Structure 1
Amino acid sequence: MKLTVQVKRLPTPVQAAALAATLHACNEAATWVSSVAFEKDIKRNFALREHTYTAVKGRWGLGAQAAQHAIKKTCDAYITLKANLTAGNLGKPGSQRYRRATEKPIAFRPEGAQPYDDRMLSWQYTQRTVSIWTLSGRMKEVAFTASPGQLARLALYRKGESDLLFRDGMWFLTATCEVPEAEPNTSVTQFLGIDLRIVNIATTLDGQIMAGRRLNRGRLRERTLRQKLQKKNTPSARRRLKKRRRKEARRVKDINHKIAKHVVAEAERTGRGIALEDLTGIRERVRLRKPQRATHASWSFAQLGQFIAYKARTAGVPVVHADPAYTSRTCAECGHIDTANRVSQACFACRSCGVVAHADRNGSRNIRHRAEQLWRRGAQSTAPDPPPNTGRGTGRKRSTTASGARCASPGLSVPGR
């Protein structure tokens, strides 16, 4: 399975200047290649190379490998654009958003990520340095830092391309690793049901509640601050907005990583599978009042599900997605379905048999029952390949590991990722 490891580079001022010049030249060349591809309507790699390869090498001074990567990066960008247009992610044909995406060529940011293969980049793991190609020539002994676990994964499993990134004044490298998968455990008979909600991020069948109170308060605080700064729109307000960007996303990703690791470890320890709700399309199915829309839109259930899926695959734990319909209204004891069963957000009281339970734990029991029925009928594990960018850094068809702060749950101490 492909994962990525992100390491922080520690270049000297001279090395940083050379890296910045190289990154700007590669992205400027890719933008020019994109304009040629758009003008001539050529989006295939080899056909586009005939029109741009010589010019890219001569005009920007790129090496052979760097020029080919700039051309391929442009083709990949147009493939992604076509997929988004086909899926309807950019609106309907003729809409303003659709026209903005299709009426002009793709442009690359000056500091956009640049791929490096083994001919352009070599790793010295014990010395914690890399040798990397730049416009100024081969630059050796560029230091980097990483945790011991990341260094071990790099040394054992690194294979394929790496991406050079510059973000928030720091340099990073993301390296692709081919990590072996554990043998899937097909002999499981029981599942650990997980109920995903907004107030409580995840509630397990065992009664463990990963509360989202602190996370939701942080989201509200960040959203309120963004609104104030955007309304003020002074140079200092814009600088502060830029400084705080992605802060909320990093916090949410860190918490989801920790919850996913805890859930998978518990299922592996007890020899159970993992049962999740199939919440695909929930944003289109529900109608909300205006004050609830921002909270619902920022609910990161899909990211948490992806993290659980790929971590379960590395551990050999099967994952089954069950139909979530009426799981919050159904009594896990007698099966009675009634809207009145859900007394409040936290309380469930069955109108038929009188059972009183925590609402989210009752939901996790219903999810467990449905997943076990699917498993007995021969359903396959739905733990897929890791999706793109499931962790920090960039890359194609990758996920990453990263470190971060403690989990926001007051009722559960979740270990690090």
Structure 2
Amino acid sequence: MIRVKIVVQVRLMPDAVQAPVIGATLRTVNDRANWVSGVAFEHGVPREYELRKHTYAELKASGLGAQAAQQTIKKVRDAYTTLKANIRAGNLGKPRSKRRTKAESKPISFRPQAAHPFDDRCLSWQYDARTVSIWTTAGRLRHVRFTCSADALKTLREHRKGESDLIGRDGVFYLIAVCEIPETPVNENPAGFIGVDLGIVNIATTSTGYRAAGRGLNRHRKRQRNLRRKLQTKGTQSARRRLKQRSRKEQRHAANINHIISKKIVTTAERTGRGIALEDLTGIRDRVRLRKDQRAQLHSWSFHQLGSFLEYKARRAGVPLVYVDPAYTSQQCSECGHIDRKNRVGQATFACRACGVTMHADDNASHNIDRKGETVWTAGRESRVPATP
């Protein structure tokens, strides 16, 4: 059975005795991870087995348990594997670029409160009591309370698998658990596709008529930028404290909006028996050229996050999802098929110079996307096996 992997985050509620122990454990394992990273960098980043030969004994001697030492080594090796993959994919720039040179010229470092993996030998869950038992450098801590929603607890109880990550944020500790949920069989014969046009002015516009306006989110981001600028200019201790309190607030707000939008789109597709078609916008930030005052909006546009939310929600619901080529979706008339750059009169207005049809530009693009989605799905379902003579 195919399963969808999702993560569930719960907040730990340690008492006054448990909290310092958990904090000290995180600092210790990340300090040791920095040491292992230095050794790995010095030896040319060897494979995990060879890296273990260089570091395991020292980690054990420094107070880490056997399993904690293994997890620390694995965490470091996985970090270098991710770095190598990002370099290979060009995510850190071209060879000899400033960003790539910086990444390759020094060992990977870990923050004192960075996430650290705990497997079932180091962490056990008591769902009814809403507590966990966790390994620490000071011994096993039992009856550490956690809190989460009823739905999250149900998901943990039924589907949690593998490791959970302990992470500290601003003095608060969280456990991020991996859950494997059975994937609903995909509807192989969808009754059409819902085209989703992603944008900045309108976050998402669908061919069914749903439009998620981006005005509120853009205003929120502008307020956050202005407030950060004022606090950074002020530079006092209270201003820095305020900046720290408000950190990640914009990200959480945007993620919540993307969850709401993606849930509505997937629910509509599931109810109507249709699939979802999205534009493949990979590399769009490198392709487009904007004025300086527009760059902040483009680089804070979380289209990839919305796409990933749509993707995993669609997999859970058994809704087919395809990516289509975004070329000419905003210039082509969805009624007659005529393509002309001048068809796009303004940001919100589309007027075809061939047939004269006028509509909202995002609505027109979404209809073009849903047609492309059907074409891509049909092509993917065609048999490539030669017919029997």
> What band does the TM-score fall into relative to the shorter chain?
over 0.9
Higher relative contact order (CA 8 A, sep 6+): 1
Contact 2:45 2:80 in 1 (8 A): no
Percent identical among aligned pairs is: 60
Alignment partner, residue 60 of structure 2: 57
Question: What are the Cα deviations for residues 186-210 of structure 1, in whole angstroms up to 9, with x where unaligned?
Answer: 0114001111111000011111110
Alignment partner, residue 38 of structure 2: 35
Contact 1:341 1:350 in 2 (8 A): yes
| Residues 1:369 and 1:246: Cα distance change in structure 2 (over 3 Å) | same
Q: Which amino acid aligns with 1:313?
A: R
Are 1:243 and 2:245 matched, yes or no?
Answer: yes
Alignment partner, residue 367 of structure 1: 369
Give the stretch that moved more between structures: 38-47 or 202-211. 38-47
Contact 1:273 1:319 in 2 (8 A): yes
Q: Which amino acid aligns with 2:22?
A: L
Alignment partner, residue 305 of structure 1: 307
SS state of the match for residue 348, structure 1? Answer: strand
User: How many residue pairs align between the two structures?
Assistant: 379
Aligned pairs for 1:3-402 within 5 A: 3-59=6-62, 61-378=63-380
Deviation at 1:54, TM superposition (A): 1.1
Contact 2:131 2:143 in 1 (8 A): yes
Alignment partner, residue 404 of structure 1: none
Q: Which amino acid aligns with 2:143?
A: E
SS state of the match for residue 13, structure 1? Answer: coil
Specify every segment of 5 or more residues in structure 2 that has no aligned partner in the other structure, as ranges.
Answer: 383-389
Alignment partner, residue 412 of structure 1: none
- Whole-angstrom CA distance in 2 between matches of 1:202 and 1:298: 15
SS state of the match for residue 24, structure 2? Answer: helix
TM-score normalised by L of structure 2: 0.94
Deviation at 1:130, TM superposition (A): 0.6
SS state of the match for residue 216, structure 2? Answer: helix
Contact 1:191 1:371 in 2 (8 A): yes
Contact 2:205 2:362 in 1 (8 A): yes
Question: What are the Cα deviations for residues 282-310 of structure 1, in whole angstroms up to 9, with x where unaligned?
Answer: 11221111111111111111111111011
TM-score normalised by L of structure 1: 0.88
| Residues 1:377 and 1:39: Cα distance change in structure 2 (over 3 Å) | closer
SS state of the match for residue 223, structure 1? Answer: helix
Give the stretch that moved more between structures: 205-214 or 345-354. 345-354
SS state of the match for residue 184, structure 1? Answer: coil
Question: What are the Cα deviations for residues 49-84 of structure 1, in whole angstroms up to 9, with x where unaligned?
Answer: 11111111112x111100111111111111112222
Give the stretch that moved more between structures: 103-112 or 65-74. 103-112
- Whole-angstrom CA distance in 1 between matches of 2:119 and 2:317: 29
Deviation at 1:229, TM superposition (A): 2.7
- Whole-angstrom CA distance in 2 between matches of 1:142 and 1:153: 20
Q: Which amino acid aligns with 1:24?
A: R
SS state of the match for residue 5, structure 1? Answer: strand
Question: What are the Cα deviations for residues 154-196 of structure 1, in whole angstroms up to 9, with x where unaligned?
Answer: 1101110001111122111011111100001001140011111
- Whole-angstrom CA distance in 1 between matches of 2:131 and 2:168: 17
| Residues 1:281 and 1:95: Cα distance change in structure 2 (over 3 Å) | closer
Contact 1:31 1:108 in 2 (8 A): yes
SS state of the match for residue 6, structure 1? Answer: strand
Alignment partner, residue 386 of structure 2: none
Give the stretch that moved more between structures: 231-240 or 30-39. 231-240
Deviation at 1:258, TM superposition (A): 1.1
- Whole-angstrom CA distance in 1 between matches of 2:348 and 2:313: 29
| Residues 1:278 and 1:90: Cα distance change in structure 2 (over 3 Å) | closer
SS state of the match for residue 174, structure 2? Answer: strand
SS state of the match for residue 240, structure 2? Answer: helix
- Whole-angstrom CA distance in 1 between matches of 2:196 and 2:43: 51
Contact 1:189 1:372 in 2 (8 A): no
Contact 1:330 1:341 in 2 (8 A): yes
Give the stretch that moved more between structures: 254-263 or 320-329. 320-329
Contact 1:43 1:78 in 2 (8 A): no
- Whole-angstrom CA distance in 2 between matches of 1:94 and 1:235: 39
Contact 2:330 2:361 in 1 (8 A): yes
Deviation at 1:379, TM superposition (A): 5.3
SS state of the match for residue 354, structure 1? Answer: coil
Contact 2:193 2:370 in 1 (8 A): yes
SS state of the match for residue 9, structure 2? Answer: strand
| Residues 1:379 and 1:297: Cα distance change in structure 2 (over 3 Å) | farther
- Whole-angstrom CA distance in 2 between matches of 1:124 and 1:327: 52
